[in-house]
Amino acid sequence: MDLELLRTFLEVARLRNFGRAAEGLYLTQAAVSARIKLLETQLDVQLFDRYKRDIRLTPEGNRLVRHAELLLANWQKARQDVTAGGAKSQLSLGGSLRLWDVMLQPWLHEIRTHHPEIALIAESHTPEVLTRRLLDGILDIAFMLEPAQLDVLTLKQVGNLELVLVTSTPNLLLEDALGAEYLMVDWGLSHSLTHRRLFPDMPEPHTRLGTAKMAIVFLKAMGGSAYLPLSSVQAEVEAKELFVVEDAPTIKHSMYAVYPVRSPHLDLIKQVLALY
């Protein structure tokens, strides 16, 4: 199996457009079409239903997506194992984008500083994908706020995500901060439930954002209020660009390190976790 065919297939499946996939792969559209046709011939199935302005995965195409992702990930890990530039060992780390932004990046730097001999792969995915990649053996360790509780995975609480309500307007009261300009940042289902319990009567937010970084940029440009980690906005608070709403409750969520119970890198995992 030519792995480039699988890469092309996944790019077309992601973008649902041959032209945009060709741009992303630095190929001509004709080359992309030829690769998909060759893959369909090899598998003797149709992978996409073609429409005038849209393409969709067939049931066979949908089933191939995970296998293609797994094959490419295993190949990448095999290459890293074999050609890690003389590294003694390697670790594959994963976390959601929201956690990398606010909690995991400094820890990654600590690993590199204290363990220069380790080859590192760091990835960002949704919790569902992180769990799947742990079970498939692609990731050695992943960080989540709401991990699945499975017998084959070890869950270790390694920290707390502490969120404070900040606003672009000084001396704002809680009731006003939760008004029309409030930004709902996606910190997961547990946060949504806690938020609803704490503020059952607040209006439905008009703006929802996926990460702390998006919210900070929005607040500085457009104004408003949002629950964010104080560490992420410390500079803005000190510069009086943003202000903590003093009468707002702090919201805390546990962060967990998740790794296979029978990992061949268990000792190494414990060493790097000790740096957090």
- Domain membership of residue 212 as a residue range: 160-254
Residues 96 and 154 in one domain: yes
- Split into its structural domains, the chain has a count of 3
Angle, helices 59-82 vs 3-15, to 10°: value is 130
Residues 169 and 189 in one domain: yes
Residues 188 and 199 in one domain: yes
What number is the average pLDDT over the span 138-148? 92
Residues 105 and 217 in one domain: no
Model confidence over 203-252: pLDDT tens digits?
889 999 988 999 999 999 999 999 999 889 999 999 999 999 999 999 99
Residues 7 and 31 in one domain: yes
> What are the residues facing 257 on neighbouring strands?
143, 156
Residues 241 and 168 in one domain: yes
Q: Report the CATH number at residue 126.
A: 3.40.190.10
Number of separate helices (H) and strands (E) present in the chain:
12, 11
Residues 33 and 74 in one domain: yes
Q: Residues near 143 by Cβ (< 8 Å), separated by ≥ 6?
A: 93, 94, 95, 96, 99, 103, 104, 158, 255, 256, 257, 258
Residues 196 and 245 in one domain: yes
Residues 154 and 205 in one domain: no
Residues 115 and 220 in one domain: no
Residues 224 and 243 in one domain: yes
Model confidence over 55-109: pLDDT tens digits?
899 999 999 998 998 888 878 777 666 655 556 678 889 998 888 888 899 999 9
Residues 264 and 155 in one domain: yes
